[in-house]
Chain A
């Protein structure tokens, strides 16, 4: 049967690999190509790379680094960051990337998803939504690295883009990002119950138990993790890791 996926999610910032906490305090982790080589050896299910500068700086994706990453990546690869046009997408797919994640652009122009999906197929289109509690404690979709509140109702918006042809949804909890205290299970469960396309959890994983919760309670299709696969121990020493296939199988059986 189809195996649920466990996906390392790596952030590109200033040309290097960084990890944030609640989208702030970027900490340098290392060289992206070196990290890919290690994840290759560890036989990860899939990799996700997000350029956290591209949209906020209003610049083009860094094609050179995407090409370097893709040529070392022997598993499915998802790239996100700064995507605004179909031409940019075509260029990135040609470099050897399977999936492209879109965030700001889908908020600005939801019908972009329909055009992209018609051309490239919905399985290659991912939408990543960053969710944060606003001043009143209501969860809303934020853009520009968590700085701008779109005030959109996330369930309505996700249902809308599901109809337009998105292949998968990544829900990233800004409040839980880098905290390693677990995913926002309640939020994920609510979303999963309202959609039919695959849902990927991101933001908050700190141990295997957290992954297990997301699979068994929220019924997500995949989990993505940042801190958990780049830090080790309470002092957050930098060490790239990934659970063995046997360990993943065990948490999936729970």
Chain B
């Protein structure tokens, strides 16, 4: 059972719908007991960094989640802002991130001023490391909407990259912790494959 973490931020219904479509059992929840019993976690997120991290850290389940992820090593997947929250900090806000992966979230600074921000639309990602989460996804494209992106301090945490004006990291990992900048729940067959992979991990 995957717990889709409900901390008042993000489009949870679309995520639930896609897990259901690929036959993976999930529940949208903020219940401490359900979260402690879940096998895996999905950390959604849209909106600003400070609002996101404060809402998550103030959620009643936060301590339990921290223990299950960092001590019990249960898999967690952060999506969009959910991935940015896994990093140490963001140029979008003043608050500290979770710091579960050694990386920073920074604002896009593109040389080509004709490129609009946010980076919005479908883009092709390139695998940098091998992981089961990108199984059968060498040929892919995903839907992105974001104005900030993640920079890893240690290159071994980079899972995939994408090109928009410049090459940047769009997926990160460390042991049981995963993040994707794009929206798998809105990336039809490619998102379904990724969710299926996460469900089977």
Restricting to A62-83, which residues have a CB under 8 Å from any CB of B?
70-72, 74-76
A-chain residues with CB within 8 Å of residue B123 when the two chains form the complex: 1-3
Is the pair A71, B17 in contact by a Cβ cutoff of 8 Å?
A: yes
In angstroms, Cα B132 to Cα A173, docked, is 47
Restricting to B108-152, which residues have a CB under 8 Å from any CB of A?
116, 118-124, 141, 143, 145
Is the pair A96, B11 in contact by a Cβ cutoff of 8 Å?
A: yes
In this assembly, does A213 line the interface, its C-beta being within 8 Å of a C-beta of chain B? no
Is the pair B17, A76 in contact by a Cβ cutoff of 8 Å?
A: no
In angstroms, Cα B40 to Cα A190, docked, is 51
In this assembly, does B185 line the interface, its C-beta being within 8 Å of a C-beta of chain A? yes
In this assembly, does B159 line the interface, its C-beta being within 8 Å of a C-beta of chain A? no
Q: Can you offer 26 A-B residue contacts whose CB atoms are under 8 A?
A: A1-B163, A2-B119, A2-B120, A2-B121, A2-B123, A2-B164, A3-B141, A5-B122, A43-B189, A70-B13, A70-B14, A72-B17, A74-B14, A74-B192, A75-B143, A75-B188, A76-B183, A76-B186, A93-B11, A96-B17, A98-B145, A98-B186, A121-B46, A123-B118, A123-B120, A221-B121
In this assembly, does A40 line the interface, its C-beta being within 8 Å of a C-beta of chain B? yes
B-chain residues with CB within 8 Å of residue A40 when the two chains form the complex: 188
A-chain residues with CB within 8 Å of residue B189 when the two chains form the complex: 43
In angstroms, Cα B63 to Cα A248, docked, is 48
Instruction: Select from chain A the residue with minimum beta-carbon distance to B15.
Output: A96
In angstroms, Cα B190 to Cα A45, docked, is 12
In this assembly, does A94 line the interface, its C-beta being within 8 Å of a C-beta of chain B? yes
In this assembly, does B191 line the interface, its C-beta being within 8 Å of a C-beta of chain A? yes
Q: Give A residues with C-beta under 8 Å from B.
A: 1-5, 40, 43-45, 70-72, 74-76, 93-96, 98, 121, 123, 167, 196-198, 221-222
In this assembly, does B174 line the interface, its C-beta being within 8 Å of a C-beta of chain A? no
Q: Is the interface of A mostly helix, strand, loop or mixed?
A: loop
B-chain residues with CB within 8 Å of residue A4 when the two chains form the complex: 121
In this assembly, does B18 line the interface, its C-beta being within 8 Å of a C-beta of chain A? yes
In this assembly, does B55 line the interface, its C-beta being within 8 Å of a C-beta of chain A? no
* Contact partner, A95, options B13, B124, B164, Cβ 8 Å: B13
In this assembly, does B96 line the interface, its C-beta being within 8 Å of a C-beta of chain A? no
In angstroms, Cα B18 to Cα A196, docked, is 33
Is the pair A74, B141 in contact by a Cβ cutoff of 8 Å?
A: no
Q: Give B residues with C-beta under 8 Å from A.
A: 11, 13-14, 17-18, 21, 46-47, 116, 118-124, 141, 143, 145, 163-164, 183, 185-189, 191-192
User: 9 tightest A-B contacts by CB?
Assistant: A96-B13, A96-B14, A3-B122, A74-B188, A2-B121, A76-B186, A123-B118, A71-B17, A43-B188
In angstroms, Cα B43 to Cα A144, docked, is 42
Is the pair A198, B116 in contact by a Cβ cutoff of 8 Å?
A: yes
Is the pair A2, B122 in contact by a Cβ cutoff of 8 Å?
A: yes
In angstroms, Cα B46 to Cα A96, docked, is 13
* Contact partner, A71, options B11, B13, B143, B192, Cβ 8 Å: B13
In angstroms, Cα B144 to Cα A3, docked, is 11
A-chain residues with CB within 8 Å of residue B46 when the two chains form the complex: 121
**Minimal beta-carbon separation of B22 from chain A (angstroms):** 10
Known: A1-B164, A2-B121, A121-B47. A74 touches B186 (CB 8 A): yes
In angstroms, Cα B186 to Cα A43, docked, is 11
List 8 extra interface pairs beyond A40-B188, A74-B185, CB under 8 A.
Answer: A74-B18, A74-B187, A74-B191, A75-B186, A96-B14, A98-B186, A121-B46, A198-B120
Instruction: Select from chain A the residue with minimum beta-carbon distance to B114.
Output: A196
Is the pair A98, B188 in contact by a Cβ cutoff of 8 Å?
A: no
Instruction: Select from chain B the residue with minimum beta-carbon distance to A42.
Output: B188
In angstroms, Cα B187 to Cα A98, docked, is 13
In angstroms, Cα B17 to Cα A95, docked, is 11
Is the pair A94, B186 in contact by a Cβ cutoff of 8 Å?
A: no
In angstroms, Cα B186 to Cα A98, docked, is 9
